[in-house]
Amino acid sequence: MHRTSRLRTSLLSLAAVLAAAMTAAAPASAAPAAATAVGPVVVRLTGLGGGPQNIAAAAAQDHLARQAAELGFAGSQCRVTEGPVYQHVTGNYYNAMIKATCSGDPAVSSPTRSLNRLIGPNGEHISTVWNVPPGYSVEGSLGQLYTSPREGTVPIYHCVVRRDNFLSADVNCEGQTYVSRLGWFHPGQPADVGSAPLMRCMVGKQREFFESNATNCEGQTSGGQLGWILTG
């Protein structure tokens, strides 16, 4: 009951912030400062809604607010970067889309989050603990990442190169584009908890990156082991 009340309060607060920011916000930079030892969490969300324009916009705003609250973000941590953008369907019915960026450390109630491997409409992969972007679906969990640092762990980051997503323990993304911090994992196999390898793999002529627990990269090309991820 108390949890429901807190979620409702968070949703109302976030919805108010998003509504106020709709026409004035600009995209936040995802790049961490050069002197920062641990990169920030930066999550991009998309809210969708349908109906007459005002109802569609309100539904998209509510969808956005719910996603942010479920991830643990307060309203002050999120700002609208695009929208509402409308697509006319028929008559007075429209689809509406609003995009927002949430940054900073979200409130967490669990010591771990599942690192899910997602697949997109063209077979491309993203591994993330955050939201599932439109058009993507969850293939499965690769294991659990810590939500805060533990002894013997290092941060792991979501990065992009040539619009291809990959994970790295380097805050500078090995010279490529930074997206977000995902959590913490073990660079070496831990002795006191269950773990599985987390491999960097590549597939196809374009060498599209994906992550796997299989040391043979599921029959594809190995890019090396990133570290060890919790299993249960």
Q: Is the pTM of this model over 0.95?
A: no
Local confidence band at 20 (pLDDT 50, 70, 90 cut-offs): very low
Count of other CB atoms within 10 angstroms of residue 24: 8
- Per-residue model confidence as pLDDT tens digits over 63-117: 999 999 999 999 899 999 999 999 999 999 999 999 999 999 999 889 999 999 9
SS3 string, 13-68, reads HHHHHHHHHCCCCCCCCCCCCCCCCCCCCEEEEEEEEEECHHHHHHHHHHHHHHHH
Task: Find the mean pLDDT for residues 205-220.
Answer: 92
Q: Report percent pLDDT > 90 for the chain.
A: 77
Please compute, for residue 49, the number of CA atoms within 13 A of its CA located in the half-sphere on the CB side.
23
Beta strand extents in 77-231 (DSSP E only) = 78-90, 93-103, 112-119, 125-128, 137-146, 154-161, 164-168, 177-185, 195-203, 208-212, 221-230
pLDDT at position 108, please? 87
- Mean residue pLDDT of the chain comes to 87
Give the span between the Cα atoms of 198 and 156, in whole angstroms. Answer: 11
Q: Give the amino acid at 30.
A: A
Local confidence band at 207 (pLDDT 50, 70, 90 cut-offs): confident
Q: Report percent pLDDT > 70 for the chain.
A: 84
Per-residue pLDDT at 6 exceeds 80: no
